[in-house]
Amino acid sequence: MSHLKKGSKKLLNAWAFYDWANSVYSLVISSAIFPIFYGALTIVKKDGKIVDDTVTFLGVDFNNDTLISYVTGIAFLVVSFLSLFLSGISDYIGNKKGFMKFFCYMGAVSCIGLFWFNLDYLWLGLLCYFLALIGFWGSIVFYNSYLPDIAYKDQQDRISAKGYSLGYIGSVLLLLICLAMILMHKTFGFENEDFPTRLSFILTGVWWIGFSQYTYYYLPRGNNRKQKLTRNILFNGFKELKKISLKIRENKSLRRYLYAFFLYSMAVQTIMLIATYFGIEELDWGEQDATTGLIVSILLIQLVAVLGAFLTSRISERIGNIKTLIGINFIWIAICIYAYFITTPFQFYGAAASVGLVMGGIQSLSRSTYAKFIPDEAIDTASYFSFYDVAEKIGIVIGMFSYGLVAQLTGSIRYSILFLVLFFFLGVLLLFRVPKSKF
């Protein structure tokens, strides 16, 4: 494909469309069907009440939530190391699209592998979950780094918001297809809900690979270096990374923003990962089906998030990115405090709508704000964005382990949610310390 010029509509849309392709992982695997499937597989209930949520793995008994949070945390540590390690190499040889494809395909194939998840071969199921997570977040490192390459600064907020909006809409579409198969399984010729639930994991992988081809067709290979693969590639990759780390250290605005992002993103991502588990274990659903209620709340979050991303990009144009992010963080603090007191499904839906509104905004604006802090002449954008993504991933690791530890010590996820307020508060303090800029 001929090289499209930076800022061209076709290139911007092709880049944003990868959100449509990959976000099905976030919804089906991270938030909706897999957590409910995992809960049904690992929780023993009697008369609607949980009597046993212990899972034995490698000869050790774990609380089911604690086990999945630890596996998630370890996977994010691996992603953090790999993204730093590989981004320098990809910038050196000028082929970040190749790395993006590798992680995309590995993640999608691993999603398909979740079809065979069962307690008899728990290690295999957790391995597929582990590799799917690495594939998703690994590809995101390289995907995000294209933003300053394909869009000018005045385009970045809107196209970042458009990407997230496409992701929310596309993932809801696939989720509705999967839910139709699960809830109306007899109409589709399935004997029970188990097979269509597992089939959802296959559809997720196929969707992800299939729709990503449009993005790959138009995205450039990387920067213009085109260095050859040599035995010194590892050394040169690290040299590239060290050079960028020194530039970030010298850029006070970028450095301080990265610290702030690390703290508040830690809380945001942890809440998004544990929301479904919170709904399963902490709410009194009464006669209402908990699974249906959780799915409704997840759909609500996704659809409201489209509006949130759109509104946030418009507000930031008026008052600036940093001020907008400070305001959104205060709303997150209020939501966490409110969530501590939630007991009914109706209250949960209210919290879900609020989360959706600020989730779309904080994700899209955080990405575009970081892109704006990168110097215009920079060509090592994968290396720059690897620090952004590592801040996010290490934050998630700390957040997930904190959540698992607090939940284990207190026996309640509520205290974990309340504990996350601290990270939002510290993030706000650091955002106030980011030097004033044009945005």
Q: Which residues contact 328 (CB under 8 A, 6 or more apart)?
A: 312, 358, 361, 362, 365
Average pLDDT over residues 115-142: 89
Contact 426, 267 (CB under 8 A): no
Res 438: pLDDT: 57
Sign of CA pseudo-dihedral 222, 223, 227, 233: negative
Q: How far apart, in whole angstroms, are the C-alpha atoms of residue 127 and residue 130? A: 5
Contact 91, 379 (CB under 8 A): yes
Alpha-carbon distances, residue 17 vs 25, 159, 165, 187, 212 (angstroms): 14, 10, 10, 33, 8
The full set of domain ranges for the chain reads 9-432
Res 425: pLDDT: 93
Tokens of 211: 């729709």
Q: Report the residue count for the chain.
A: 439
Residue 333 or residue 410, greater confidence: 333
Contact 210, 120 (CB under 8 A): no
Contact 434, 253 (CB under 8 A): yes
What single-letter amino acid sits at 288? Answer: Q
Q: Which of 271, 396, 412 is nearest to 333 (CA)?
A: 271
206: pLDDT confidence band, cut at 50, 70 and 90?
very high
> What is the per-residue DSSP string for 146-193?
THHHHS-HHHHHHHHHHHHHHHHHHHHHHHHHHHHHHHTTTTTT-SSS
Rounded to 5, what percent of the chain is helix, strand, coil? 80, 5, 15
Res 2: pLDDT: 45
- Mean per-residue pLDDT over the chain, rounded: 83
Q: How far apart, in whole angstroms, are the C-alpha atoms of residue 134 and residue 271? A: 19
Average pLDDT over residues 79-92: 74
Res 94: pLDDT: 64
Q: Over the stretch 33-72, which tens digit does the pLDDT of each residue have? A: 888 888 778 766 655 555 556 676 676 777 677 788 788 8
235: pLDDT confidence band, cut at 50, 70 and 90?
low
**For the structural domain made of 9-432, what CATH number should be given?**
1.20.1250.20
Sign of CA pseudo-dihedral 14, 19, 20, 21: positive
- C-alpha distance across the termini of the chain, in Å: 34
Contact 302, 168 (CB under 8 A): yes
Using left for φ > 0, alpha for ψ between -120 and 50, and beta otherwise, residue 48 falls in left
Q: Over the stretch 288-332, which tens digit does the pLDDT of each residue have? A: 667 777 778 888 888 888 898 889 989 988 988 899 999 999 999
